[in-house]
Structure formats: C-alpha cells, structure tokens
Amino acid sequence: NAGVMQNPRHLVRRRGQEARLRCSPMKGHSHVYWYRQLPEEGLKFMVYLQKENIIDESGMPKERFSAEFPKEGPSILRIQQVVRGDSAAYFCASSGLQETQYFGPGTRLLVL
C-alpha cells in the first residue's frame, strides 16, 4: 500500500511562471490537506478538500493560489504568477475515516 505521493519532489520556477503541485492520497483516503512550510517556520494549513469539494480554504492566500481534488486523479495545488516569497516546501496529507493524517514527502518549490 503506497503512501501519499507527491510530485514533483523539487520544482524550480522563475518569477511570473505557474507552479502545479500534485498529490495522490493513500489508497482509500478521500480527504486531502495541503500545508506550506516556509524556511525556519512551522507548517501552516492551506486548504482541506474532499473529492470534488473544497471544505476549508481559510489558509489559502486570496490571490494566485487554487486547489482542486477531482473525482479522478490527484489533487492539484496551483500557484499562478509565482513570486520569490512562494519558495517553500508544500506538503500534502491524506486521511480516511480514521483521524490520523499521513503526509507525503513534500514538493520543494524554488522561485528564482
């Protein structure tokens, strides 16, 4: 049973480009969470999704960031027109009926 998969593991973008981060939850999990870890900071919640629904996006910046979890396929975190301040590690977690959230290895985004 594969764990939470994230790709790419490392992503380099120039300012103004788009970044797409993918997360495949553990088999059988229908809840997906995205978190961001800025350098020297703790993990901060961004968005919570279930299949085809955004449940809580209170941690998402109002502009340039969006997330989806379609009926088929991985969850996508999309950052438009990236800026240097977007450089961070982005982690995805999934859970099933049980409470425990299982985390992926993260995507490390570097904006040049």
Kindly provide the residue ranges of all beta strands, DSSP E only, lying in the chain, ordered along the sequence.
5-7, 10-13, 19-24, 31-37, 43-50, 53-56, 65-68, 75-79, 88-95, 102-103, 107-111
Whichever of 49 and 82 has its CB closer to another protein, that residue is 49
Question: Please, which residues have CB within 8 angstroms of residue 110's CB and are 6 or more apart in sequence?
Answer: 10, 11, 12, 13, 87
- Tell me the three state secondary structure of residue 4: coil
Residue 35 Cβ, how far from another protein at the closest point, in Å?
8
Write out the binding residues for another protein, residues 9-68 only, by CB under 8 A.
31, 33, 35, 41-45, 48, 55-56, 58-59
Tell me how far, at minimum, the Cβ of 106 lies from another protein, in Å. 5
The minimum distance between CB 20 and another protein, in angstroms, equals: 19
Residues forming contacts to another protein in the complex (CB under 8 A) are: 4, 31, 33, 35, 41-45, 48, 55-56, 58-59, 91, 93, 99-106, 108
